[in-house]
């Protein structure tokens, strides 16, 4: 990333599409003189050059958001709800356009990109209920002649810093509740696939969102640090890898901001001996290789308990030759490329290190990757993986599924609980009692029972435990309303002035 930041603009980049910022309701060309390359991962060809913001440009976006906040926070709940219904309709109508932008820069297959937009739309639908969501409480006659009520008010300007793997949905997790709550939102999207954020900005404007309420500043560490240090930014939401999440949390809170920082993951899918093996294999393949494994909720490790291991590994292996890998725009393909050449090579290196460290390389995706310059790797399966191996310890974030064999249920759950991450986890079983015990025992934020990718619906909140979350508020759902507002409690009385007297005692509730 620093490499990109320091690179001067080349002739080739000048011939590709320029991807500017969005500030004050319009596209604004960057003035820093720095840009980063954007690729079509399916072809390996550079298609764009994204402007990387300077500290001054970030300041300009925050100033514009601060100005917009004055009017936006006064906009009635009725008007905000009406606007969110319009936003929902427009995003729904243009969902295919948005999905195509995602496929072009991220590489995920179009059907998966449509799924991303659909899950993001659910959060916009949740935000349509904003009048109910920010409703306070009221206690009449809390003390004699005294009423007490609570209200929730927006924070001001809030920032979102988002990862490459969900360029539309993760920003929707943030801006929809933040803006509905009355805040102005500055998005710093991933510089690897930045165009979805510009289309988002254009659609929001078309739907009627006032200028300055939603802005986009592209950039790298320079822009992120400027947001973390800016006195005009009240809160920061982050989604990305664990080391950066930790940095964002520590730096943001040091500068007095409210911060929620969602980090990386290593999601386990435990298969008990009584599970339906065919169903478990279908689930492992779908959740392990969907979006080329570049999902924070992807299944990365299958924990096969007892004698289910051999039939399960066989059933997974049999399915792999049928997974169609290729350009995401071609409808027959089920899995696209990885985000960059470097990331593809890093993912592939775990096949080598896994085999060297004693795992069994059952299926080697390097042998099945489509030809050409695209950043492809075929689906890969490692068996007999142990907890000391790099393939187990690191978040691979690619189409590599590891199988760890455990003797008992207790061993399997112990493995999950000892892992530093705690994002998603799944259990496959036909035993209701075991499932209930599992949801009680397991240390993870999102649990699936015979559901391999338990991403909560929009009216619950999304978030992990341990190194998968810094801060204590999860994304979207009720916790997002809490995160993007501050509580205020009003105690009021309307006494008869004739009864007024001086009383230096501490107010008592009688």
Site residues for ligand NAD per CB under 6 A: 1, 161-166, 170, 188, 190-191, 220-221, 224, 239-241, 244, 262-265, 296, 395, 397, 423, 464, 468
Give CA 174 to chain center in angstroms.
Answer: 9
Catalytic entry in 128, 181, 184, 296: 296
Give the nearer residue to ligand NAD in terms of CB position, either 461 or 468: 468
**In the complex, what is the shortest distance from the CB of residue 239 to ligand NAD, in angstroms, rounded to a whole number?**
5
Of 21, 484, 22, nearest in space to 212 by CA: 22
Under DSSP, is residue 486 helix (H, G, I), strand (E, B) or coil? strand
Closest distance of CB 165 from ligand NAD, Å: 5
- And the tokens for 111? 């059907």
Quick check: is 184 catalytic? Answer: no
Q: What is the DSSP letter of 17?
A: E
Nearer to ligand NAD, 244 or 281 (CB): 244
Shortest Cβ distance from residue 222 to ligand NAD (Å)?
9
CA angle 468, 445, 127 (to 5 degrees): 95
Please, which residue, 18 or 346, has the CB nearer to ligand NAD?
A: 346
CA geometry: angle at 481 spanning 205 and 423, to 5°? 105
What span, in angstroms and rounded, lies between the C-alpha atoms of 397 and 343? 9
- Min dist CB 229 to ligand NAD, Å, is 12
Q: What stretches of 73-194 show up as alpha helix (H) in DSSP?
A: 77-93, 95-106, 110-127, 130-133, 169-180
Q: 403 in helix, strand or coil?
A: strand
Phi/psi for 324 (5° steps) reads: -90, 120
Residue placing its CB nearer to ligand NAD in the complex, 219 or 354 = 219
Alpha-carbon distances, residue 129 vs 76, 81, 84, 133, 261 (angstroms): 13, 7, 9, 6, 25
Task: Name the closest residue to ligand NAD (Cβ).
Answer: 240
Strand partners, 36: 50
Q: How many CA atoms lie within 13 A of 88 on its CB side?
A: 18
Closer to ligand NAD by Cβ: residue 343 or 405: 343
How near is the Cβ of 225 to ligand NAD at its closest, in Å?
A: 7
Closest to ligand NAD by CB, 18 vs 221, is: 221
Tokens coding 360: 């069994």
Closest separation between CB of residue 50 and ligand NAD, Å? 10
Least CB distance to ligand NAD at residue 1 (A): 5
Q: Which is nearer to ligand NAD, 3 or 496 (CB)?
A: 3
CA of 384: how far to CAs of 162, 275, 309, 349, in Å? Answer: 35, 20, 10, 17
- Beta-bridged to residue 239, according to DSSP, are 262
Backbone phi and psi for residue 343, each to the nearest 5 degrees, phi listed first: -65, -40
Known catalytic residues are 296
């Amino acid at each position: 990333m620093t490499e990109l930041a320091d690179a001067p603009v080349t002739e080739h980049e000048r011939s590709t599409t320029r991807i500017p910022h969005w500030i004050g309701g319009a596209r604004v060309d960057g003035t820093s003189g720095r840009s980063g390359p954007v690729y079509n991962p399916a072809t390996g060809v550079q298609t764009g050059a994204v402007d990387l913001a300077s500290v001054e440009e970030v300041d300009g976006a925050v100033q514009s958001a601060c100005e917009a906040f004055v009017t936006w926070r006064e906009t009635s709940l009725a008007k905000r709800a009406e606007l969110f219904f319009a936003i929902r309709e427009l995003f729904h109508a243009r969902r295919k356009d948005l999905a195509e932008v995602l496929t072009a820069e991220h590489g995920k297959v179009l059907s998966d990109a449509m799924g991303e937009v659909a899950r993001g739309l659910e959060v916009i639908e949740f935000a349509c209920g904003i009048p109910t969501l920010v409703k306070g409480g009221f206690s009449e006659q809390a003390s004699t002649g005294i009423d007490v009520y609570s209200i929730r008010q927006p924070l001001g300007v809030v920032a979102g810093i988002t990862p490459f793997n969900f360029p539309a949905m993760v920003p929707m997790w943030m801006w929809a509740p933040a803006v509905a709550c009355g805040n102005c939102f500055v998005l710093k999207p991933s510089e690897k696939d930045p165009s979805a954020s510009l289309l988002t900005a254009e659609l929001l404007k078309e739907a009627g969102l006032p200028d300055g309420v939603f802005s986009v500043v592209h950039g790298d560490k320079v822009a992120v640090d400027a947001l973390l240090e800016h006195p005009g930014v009240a809160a920061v939401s982050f989604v990305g890898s664990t080391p950066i999440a930790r940095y964002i949390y520590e730096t943001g809170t040091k500068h007095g901001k409210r911060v929620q920082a969602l980090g990386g993951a290593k999601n386990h899918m435990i298969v008990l001996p009584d599970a339906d093996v065919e169903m478990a294999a279908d689930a492992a393949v779908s959740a392990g290789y969907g979006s080329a494994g570049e999902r924070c909720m992807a299944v990365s490790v299958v924990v096969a308990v007892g004698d289910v291991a051999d039939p399960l590994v066989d059933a997974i292996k049999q399915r792999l030759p049928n997974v169609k890998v290729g350009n995401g725009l071609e409808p027959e393909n089920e899995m696209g490329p990885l985000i960059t050449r470097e990331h593809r090579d890093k993912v592939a290196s775990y096949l080598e290190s896994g085999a060297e460290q004693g795992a069994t390389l059952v299926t080697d995706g390097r042998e099945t990757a489509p030809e050409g310059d695209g950043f492809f790797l075929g689906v890969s399966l490692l068996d007999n993986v142990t907890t000391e191996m790099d393939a187990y310890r690191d978040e691979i974030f690619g189409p590599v599924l590891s199988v760890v064999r455990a003797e008992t249920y207790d061993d399997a759950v112990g493995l999950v609980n000892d892992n530093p991450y705690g994002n998603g986890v799944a259990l496959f079983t036909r035993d209701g009692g075991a499932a209930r015990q599992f949801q009680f025992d397991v240390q993870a934020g999102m649990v699936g029972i015979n559901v391999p990718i338990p991403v909560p619906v929009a009216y619950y909140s999304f978030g992990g435990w341990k190194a998968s979350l810094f801060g204590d508020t999860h994304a979207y759902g009720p916790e997002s309303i809490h995160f993007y507002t501050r509580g205020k409690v009003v105690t009021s009385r309307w006494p008869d002035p004739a009864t007024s007297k001086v009383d230096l005692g501490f107010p008592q509730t009688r």
